[in-house]
Amino acid sequence: MQELQEDVPALGVDRVGDPTVPAELPAVGERRRERVQPSPRVRGEPAGDDEVDPAPHPLGVELGQAPVSARPLLEPGVHRTHQHPVAQAHRTDVERRREQGVRHRRTITGTAGPAHPRQNARAARKATYGDIVRRHDLVVIGSGSGNMVLSDEFSELDVAIVEATEFGGTCLNRGCIPTKMFAYTAEVADTVVDSATYDVGAQLDGIAWPALRDRVFGRLDPIAADGRKGREDSDFVTVYAGEARFTGPRTLVVDLHEGGSAEIEAERIVIAAGARPVVPPPIEQSGLPFHTSDTVLRIDALPRRLAVLGGGYIAAELAHVFHSAGSEIVMIDMADQLLGPQDESVSEAFTAIARDRYELHLGREVTELKGAPGALQLVLDDDTTVAADTLLVVVGRAPNGDSLDVDAAGLETHDDGRVAVDAAGRTSVPGVWALGDVSSPVQLKHVANREAEVVTHNLLHPDDLRETDHGLVPAAVFTSPQIGTVGRTEAQCRDEGLDYEVAQVDFADVAYGWAMEDETGFCKVLAERGTGRILGAHIMGPEAPTLIQPLAMAMTFDIDAAALSGRPYWIHPALTEVIDNALRQLSTTAGAKPGGAFGR
């Protein structure tokens, strides 16, 4: 990869022998100085010789072999100094604006208005750009994990962020964080209901839904607002409130929320636009109301009977929340088991538990939604009709690349719509990067955050690229019972023809499991026969998302089952003994010696 970097010149620098680029094309720093000091060019006005962009350098067939066509946004060793030409040009423009008493960054919403005071007594201007082209050194699309990219290391550059909804993205506003806050409340309610199991007299009077909703979002909404305000108050960031779409390789139009549009271009663009819920055509075309995971947690009142269309982890978590809050639940899914991608032991056990709690229609599709608001009727492909007052659609999520018109930029995509990237986060268009659900094969927040860290580093240090490895990503389902997983499932081990052993220990077989009176939890570990190399681990039961982490670490650092069990002390009688006991079984059956050395 290093050789490819040396073969491809930096973005904006003359490529010797390339007939598409004038030999006199100035270097990046010179171009930026020219762009900062004059007023923005009007759309349609011919560009001067110093504004000619080089043609995109094509990638190879394999994304992993994509060339790097990017110079560091700031040269190593001169971050936040006045020495770099880009920083110097930017600082000159900043100082000129400050001397004029005008704040040099704006929130672009679409409506021109009077200046409003800031804490430092400067004014921020709002503007409708209309036919003006605004240039930036770096533009980030999306303020979820994309917001992590804008570290202080970019403070000497002209940076922009575009957000179509709330600051903080899906995780903060309608995904990971609020759902877990609701799920914890559901867990507390379940504990009260089951209190007699522990000889405690208690009665659940119910969950005060409006109060719960207001408590959760009363904490999270201000965080989102503060995140936006922090960027608005930044001296180096412009906030565009609207929906972005590509018009060329590194040019965008933002349809602003309050009307109008802004045309912008940048030397680097990072796509972090996330994903959205998928709605099947029979539901979308029915004209009847339904909810998705984006909306259901903000409803005013609990459903009496909630139909949940879907059987994945989001469906399982939200079904748990509403069931514990008092709603009757009916789940409909095309698969024969809930949580189908999980290990077979987990999906079978969880489906059996769910069948005792909910009405299940598995292996079925919805062919029609009819009825009236509050009295919905879902017609299934076996002619069964399911009645519900509220419908929640959670059948999957689609990456938002199509809404960005990525084809107009020449960006390659996968069949499922994900923007194609290599392990470093580079797309097929030089200077354009992508991260998170819009491009990642693993739609999880901790994956998106890691990708944001990698892309940030690579933007600043293209000669020292880091890569993201999706090979061992732990995941969790915060339902009841909780689930934690990492590595291969047993079905994958069979399909790959691996020689493996399985150990499974129930929570009821360890002392803390007795204290919990747990009857359904278990820990399952798969290891390679003869070496004890851990191939996968799957836990269902209380605290499974926490319990899975030591197994994920062992797999990451190639610690075999015998070493993980025999070297560290395992606290007695902690719940972690369920892991230790499974590992000890593997130390015998897989052939590795207990107490072996870490690593290989």
Encoded tokens for 76: 């190593």
Instruction: Tell me if the bond preceding 85 is cis, omega within 30° of 0.
Output: no
Residues tagged active-site? 572
Contacts of 431 (CB under 8 A, 6+ apart): 11, 69, 70, 249, 250, 266, 267, 268, 269
Q: Are the C-beta atoms of residues 503 and 493 closer than 8 Å to each other?
A: no
* Closest C-alpha to 137, from 28, 14, 246: 28
| Edge-to-edge strands, sheet with 522-528 | 475-477, 483-487, 534-540, 522-528, 500-506
Q: How far apart are CA 485 and CA 540, in angstroms?
A: 9
CA 304 to chain centre: 32
* Closest C-alpha to 185, from 334, 333, 297: 297
* Closest C-alpha to 301, from 265, 325, 273, 335: 325
- Provide the 8-state DSSP code for 45: S
Residue count (the chain): 600
CB burial of residue 416 (10 Å; 0-12, 13-18, 19+): exposed
Q: How far apart are CA 123 and CA 167, in angstroms?
A: 22
* Dihedral (Cα; 557, 538, 590, 576), 10-degree rounding: 80
Angstrom CA distances, 541 to 45, 130, 345, 528, 554, stand at 64, 56, 13, 25, 21
| Helix (H) or strand (E) run with residue 253 in it | strand 251-256
